[in-house]
Chain A
Amino acid sequence: MARLMDVNGLTVRFYTPEGTVYAVNDVTYTLDEGESLAIVGESGSGKSVHALAIMGLIPSPPGKVTDGTVMFDGRDLVQLREDEMRLVRGSEIAMIFQDPMTSLNPVLKISTQLTEAIKLHLGMTEAQARNRAVELLQMVGIPAAADRLDDYPHQFSGGMRQRVMIAMALSCNPRLLIADEPTTALDVTIQAQIVELIKRLRAELGMALIWITHDLGVAAGIADHINVMYAGQIVERGPIMQVFKDPRSAYTLGLLSSLPRLDLKDQRLVQIEGQPPDMRDEPTFDPFAPRNPYVTERCWQEIPPLENVAKGHPEHFARAWYDLPSLRNAQ
């Protein structure tokens, strides 16, 4: 598959009165056309901020992309001017957010919000845009779409609002959809609906997908590749099967062992000790070292590079100065 996006050394800082926040640190990965990539991490791991950086949506000040490139279709998105970026946003890369209520304008009809981007990016007339909007609402499974077009956001339920957001994101046939925790605010049965919907649409439209989540279960169901983030770094990345079956980062291993499983019998949960790091500390060593049971001397001295894992899949990378016991042997 052809390369769609190449993120190299992306680094984001926030300069706040309380000090510099090292939000995203040297994030490097590639994304192919049509690929489905999950980005997993806890709050403060930089997963959402890195997506905002790709979209050119980092509020500045206080934020700044201090280093790195995002090559998309031969252009570096980091270097684009705001008016150039505006043509990319929505038409080539679209984004949906966690909370559909705060992402929709409560005083505008759905039709106004949906047709705005269509008219801007695709140059359609009002009537054409409305037809396209009805098509989109049907595509995302909103019943009686033509009748709902002139409703306001509050007249939709949470799951339906997220469908409207998805319709809006897909209105200009983007090549990449970035979904930032789109199901976190939803109930589990509604989450299942949205996950199925996105899977179906991705197959139909052939777009690439970046799905940001803290839920390893959702990631396992939707992605073919995964980036695990901790303290603003990618600590492990690779094909989803390899990362889940043969994790090489102590953080990934810890997360996987700490989760209770619906399909497995009871045992005491293996807990990760300690707390996530303060992002105001400049990273000079492996940020997971204080919580890592496999920590080595070197972890305290320098940041490990994201390297190919030994005797593993060629696309499987991890940041580790240590060797982990195999998860398969442990079970």
Chain B
Amino acid sequence: MAETMVEEAAPAPERAQENGREVILSVRGLKKHFPIMSGFILQRRVGEVRAVDGLDFDVFKGETLGLVGESGCGKSTTGRTILQLYRPTEGNVVFEGEDLTQIKGERMRAIRRRMQIIFQDPFASLNPRMTVGNIIAEPLRIHNIMSRREQKDYVGDLMEKVGLNPYFVNRYPHEFSGGQRQRIGIARSLALEPSFIVADEPISALDVSIQAQVVNLLEDLQNQLNLTYLFIAHDLSMVRHICDRVAVMYLGKIVELGNTDDVYDNPQHPYTQSLLSAVPVPDPEVELQRQRIILGGDVPNPATPPIGCNFNTRCPVRFGLCHEEPDPILEEIRPGHFVACHRTN
């Protein structure tokens, strides 16, 4: 592919290292609160939804970090706040050595080339009035890269790379199936040769027989292009398959973070334990013998989080402290395995 195309967006000053691995993205104290407004003419702020409420984590170069949790836990907001599609309420997002929360304008535009997003809904995220070729080339035009003629060849290359026939370059999104549309979205996100991609539930809307195709494609592209993924999902089986590390979110906070195998084989937080036990396994023999932890109730409203630990209203193993002490913070209980729970901390 045209190697001259993207000049390094930032001559990254010094890049953080952790245990010998290069940190591509570092999130510290990230918060995103959405105001709740009330009143007809004189709007006033009557509260806030704490969608993301204090996140600290690093993403290593070349890895896939999974972000899992139930709907409303803030996982998608986290992805968008990292990319500065929402400006954070508080906290820092350091990407390739630069704090994104401090920059804007042209500098921001230049950095956006290095980080892209794949959306969940392959029907809503593609403009129905644009041809596939124009959709994939749009980022090139916005960033004013390449002549029209160069773009044409380049788009053909991209389409082949994601498993689409370049012959279909002049067709419209409605002429494609869900899986193929998701491939178009992936090609668009690759157009600017990013190093980091937020994949926001990229397979949830796809049929079961198509999911494996898209997951295999994402893995192949990662190997070829040395991509880093933040993989947002609620399908815990798929996350185990695709992710090197996983962060479990509940009510805007990370409750457990670690290597995927550690978290899945030896979950420490009671929420992680019940979440994993709720996932159905496609094997009737296993299902017959499984003991489930069935959580009572629903996820609390993030506008009015519970007093004490966020999880204490549903926790099967809560004790006195959980209601009295403030929400526990994320602590490292073993190298690389973090848990936020009064029981373990």
Chain A residues engaging chain B, CB cutoff 8 angstroms: 42-43, 157, 159-160, 187-193, 195-196, 214-221, 240-241, 244-245, 254-256, 258-263, 266, 268-273, 275-276
Contact = CB atoms under 8 A, between A and B. Distances in A.
A272 B280 contact: no
SS class of chain A's interface: helix, strand, loop or mixed? helix
A259 B295 contact: no
Contact of A254 (B209, B238, B241, B264): B209
A271 B209 CA distance: 7
B292 interface: yes
A221 B283 CA distance: 8
Interface in B249-290: 264, 274-287, 290
Contacts of B125: none
B294 interface: yes
Contact of A262 (B180, B212, B242, B276): B276
Contact of B240 (A216, A219, A241, A262): A262
B287 A258 contact: no
B281 A217 contact: yes
Interface bin, chain B: 35 or more
Interface in B159-194: 177, 179-180
A22 to B, nearest CB: 18
A245 B282 CA distance: 11
Given A187-B234, A220-B287, A262-B237, A256 B282 contact: yes
A188 B278 contact: yes
7 contacts: A191-B280, A217-B281, A217-B282, A220-B282, A221-B284, A268-B219, A269-B241
A244 B280 CA distance: 14
A271 B206 CA distance: 13
A261 B280 contact: no
B106 interface: no
B27 interface: no
Nearest to B180: A275
A220 B284 contact: yes
Contacts of A261: 237, 281-283
A266 B261 CA distance: 10
B329 interface: no
A271 B212 contact: yes
Interface centre among B234, B277, B284, B292 (most CB of A within 10 A): B284
B131 interface: no
Nearest to A218: B280
Given A244-B285, A268-B216, 8 more contacts: A188-B279, A190-B70, A191-B278, A220-B282, A254-B209, A258-B208, A261-B281, A262-B281
B35 to A, nearest CB: 22
A188 B286 contact: no
Report the 10 A-B pairs with minimum CB-CB distance, sorted nearest first.
A217-B280, A260-B241, A192-B278, A216-B282, A187-B70, A258-B212, A269-B212, A271-B212, A42-B207, A221-B287
Interface in B301-315: none
A244 B282 contact: yes
Nearest to A230: B209
Given A262-B236, A276-B209, A189 B282 contact: no
A196 B177 contact: no
Contacts of B275: 188-189
Contacts of A244: 282-285
B211 interface: yes
Nearest to B211: A258
B213 interface: yes
A187 B179 CA distance: 23
Contacts of A190: 70, 298
A196 B287 CA distance: 12
Given A159-B298, A260-B237, A272-B212, A189 B281 contact: no
A259 B216 contact: no
Nearest to B209: A272
Contacts of B286: 220, 263
A280 B234 CA distance: 33
Contacts of B208: 42, 214-216, 255, 258-259
A219 B281 CA distance: 9
B215 interface: yes
A217 B207 contact: no
A120 to B, nearest CB: 32
Contacts of B242: 260
Nearest to A278: B177
B71 interface: yes
B278 A189 contact: yes
B296 to A, nearest CB: 8
Contacts of A240: 284
Contacts of B211: 258
Contacts of A157: 298
Contacts of B179: 275
A326 B44 CA distance: 66
A241 B287 CA distance: 11
Contacts of A241: 284-285
A276 B212 contact: no
Interface centre among B209, B215, B264, B299 (most CB of A within 10 A): B209
A253 to B, nearest CB: 12
B304 to A, nearest CB: 14
Contacts of B207: 42-43, 214, 276
A97 B275 CA distance: 24
Contacts of A254: 209
Interface centre among A188, A192, A269 (most CB of B within 10 A): A188
B274 A189 contact: yes
